[in-house]
A and B are shown apart, each in its own frame.
Chain A
Amino acid sequence: MAILVTPQTRILVQGITGSFGARHAQLSLDYGTQVVAGVTPGKGGQFFEHGSHKVPIFDTVEEAAKQTGATVSVVFVPPPFAADAILECNDAGLDLVVAITEGIPVFDMVRVKEKIRNSRTRLIGPNCPGLVTPGTGEKSHGGCRIGIAPGYIHKKGNVGVVSRSGTLTYEAVWQLTSRGFGQSTCVGIGGDPVNGTSHLDVLKMFNEDPETEAIIMIGEIGGSAEEEAANWAGEHCKKPIAGFIAGTTAPPGRRMGHAGAIVSGGQGTAEGKIAAMKAAGIAVAETPSVMAETLLRHWGKL
């Protein structure tokens, strides 16, 4: 089953004619993902062509969704227009919008989040690598790749991965795949302080998903989302979880690349998050080199 998306999910791409969006739309098509529409205002009626693929481009999300049956959008539009792009998906009644864009003003996200709260549209990101539900083909081909993650590092399987960081997710996935363990779905929730979907939201989905048997949760300094997820998991999660928190050596008061990665006023430290995870029975990897190993040990596979 996986969570959020399956290989059958139909995707539209907002910003498909920009270089970044085009490149990743091509990679998703190569991976076998159902990219069925593009949206670029003013370019409706044109086509996005790649190999044998001919993806229609629409002026609005509503038209794209109605005419192609797309239920999920991935947003590659530049920061000044990204909040509007997300709201457009909400207006069109999509199930899911995945915002890859990095650098959206925090007030834009605060308003978007308030607006889409309690609506049918779920937001993942922004400033995230997206999500992958691996397929069954060679190098996990035939899966659903939304965003910018490398598809080939995945393998179909039973580990759910959730993370705030892109490259750390790839690191964990690659460690799993190299050891012969596949993934149900890998979700990058993004490195911004205000995002659409939290660690906790994803843990709950993994807990309910029959295909997911074990979970890797990767966090970093800043905020209290990891503590919140860990506290819930300690009470309710039926599946083994391994965790890793980046930023033990980060100086307080400095933003470490991600807009959300900052220790302020003694809050959001790696130590606090690691302690909360351990208290919840989560196996914490001492270094990022042993994320998969830590899970496999905890899961009884090593």
Chain B
Amino acid sequence: MNIHEYQARELFEKFGVATSKGHVASTPEEAEKAAAAIGGSNLVVKAQIHAGGRGKGTFTNGFQGGVKLVHTPTEARDIASKMLGHALVTKQTGPEGRVVNKVFIAEAVDISRELYIAILVDRATSAPMIIASTEGGMDIETVAEHTPEKIFHVSVDPLLGLQPFQTRKIAANLGLRGPLMTQASKLFTALYRTFIESDCSMVEINPLVVTPDGRLLALDAKFNFDDNALYRQPAIVAMRDKEEEDPREVAASEFNLNYIGLDGNIACLVNGAGLAMATMDIVQFAGGKPANFLDVGGGATKDQVCAAFKIILSDKNVEGILVNIFGGIMDCNVIANGIVEAAREVGLKLPLVVRLEGNNVEAGKKTLSESGLTIISASTLADAAQKIVAAVKAA
């Protein structure tokens, strides 16, 4: 789950991570008031969408740039009116763009140094890891590739938590000395608390800046949350903006299906995440292009299969469907009946290849062949992939 920039700022304020002054606004009038409240003559108005590349984006009304410098509250209101309610197209949004419902007004701070800090769960050590770098403001992967010596790591004992000496060590490595070291220790401690208490899988501040007047501030942040922990994070769940998500993925999650849209033409419906990935791979190996990842889980009930078909068919690129079920515990005939009913209910017209294996598979295959539907039966995974690729080419 992702959140907006203004929500990340709210989390920082809650936990005491120092940031520049800012307020969110939903109307031009609110934007004007926010600018007046912040004060000063250097402010920035930022369109709030999840996608990156906002600064270089273009609004569908022709207005250029989703991040703008302004000098007065009136100017903030004018700029906000050009952003709010309009779609912003960036390199990450696709041509339709994303409608901007909120703007964030912040003080534009002068910067003397840009740094980087992130916390994530390191899989190799199974412990929280802090990653810091003197090269802020740029992509950390680029820094890792070109100047890896400018990145350093501190592993945190999960039972002890981040220790004060560790925060000083990071500060020293970032060249934050004197009064800045005290600010840094406080900021890193607050950031670690944010990370743990919000069940983040990653939090990244880029850039973390030092201002000419000696302040250390988190200017931009990115959060990823652990989906498994959302049940105990109602405040984080409340930040979810479904309009920023793929509607098919939102629909799938309501039926406990795991769906991820891709850009191919062969839809896959599979039980089990590993097998679902492997099915996509074998479709590609057979010369096709997978349209999606879809794991229906261990059960695969008729209702789930039905919902899955509807979601798959809402993707206009889909030209054929491959169902691959390994019915370990479940009776394949029950699954076959579910597929037949679902195909009838949605009035399926596209080629459908079904590969069933496992418990009571012969009865399942019989159900499929006697259904009167044009279902192509396959015996192995490879056979299934070849058959759906051929069927889509022939159609």
Contact = CB atoms under 8 A, between A and B. Distances in A.
B278 A257 contact: no
B328 A224 contact: no
A193 B121 contact: yes
B284 A107 contact: no
Interface stretch (B9-17, B23-31, B61-69, B222-230): B222-230
Nearest to B227: A259
A249 B281 contact: yes
Contact of A248 (B262, B284, B383): B284
Interface stretch (B39-47, B122-130, B311-319): B122-130
Given A113-B126, A259-B227, A288 B328 contact: no
Interface string A266-301: 100010000000000000001111100000000000
Contact of B140 (A103, A152, A163, A265): A265
In this complex, the member of B272, B283, B298 whose beta carbon has the largest number of chain A beta carbons within 10 angstroms is B272
Contacts of A103: 228
A106 B272 CA distance: 20
15 contacts: A106-B226, A107-B121, A110-B127, A111-B159, A150-B359, A167-B271, A168-B278, A174-B358, A193-B121, A220-B274, A246-B275, A247-B278, A250-B280, A259-B227, A261-B274
B122 to A, nearest CB: 9
Contact of A288 (B127, B228, B282): B282
Nearest to A149: B328
B292 to A, nearest CB: 11
A249 B284 contact: yes
A254 interface: yes
The 7 closest A-B pairs by CB, nearest first: A165-B274, A257-B273, A167-B272, A150-B328, A105-B229, A289-B382, A167-B275
Nearest to A270: B281
Contacts of B141: 265-266
Contacts of A169: 274
Interface in B163-211: 196, 199, 201
Contacts of A115: 159
A107 B158 contact: yes
B281 A168 contact: no
Contact of B278 (A105, A251, A288): A288
Interface of A: 27, 79-80, 103-107, 109-111, 113-115, 148-150, 152-153, 163-171, 174, 191, 193-194, 218, 220-225, 228, 244, 246-251, 254-261, 265-266, 270, 286-290
Given A105-B226, A114-B157, A167-B274, A287 B126 contact: no
B114 interface: no
B231 A288 contact: no
A249 B358 contact: no
B258 to A, nearest CB: 5
A260 B272 CA distance: 14
Given A107-B158, A164-B274, A255-B227, 16 more contacts: A80-B232, A106-B228, A110-B121, A114-B159, A115-B159, A148-B328, A150-B359, A165-B272, A168-B275, A168-B278, A218-B274, A250-B280, A257-B274, A258-B274, A259-B227, A289-B383
Contacts of B270: 167
B295 interface: yes
B326 A167 contact: yes
Contact of A107 (B229, B278, B280): B229
A289 B380 contact: yes
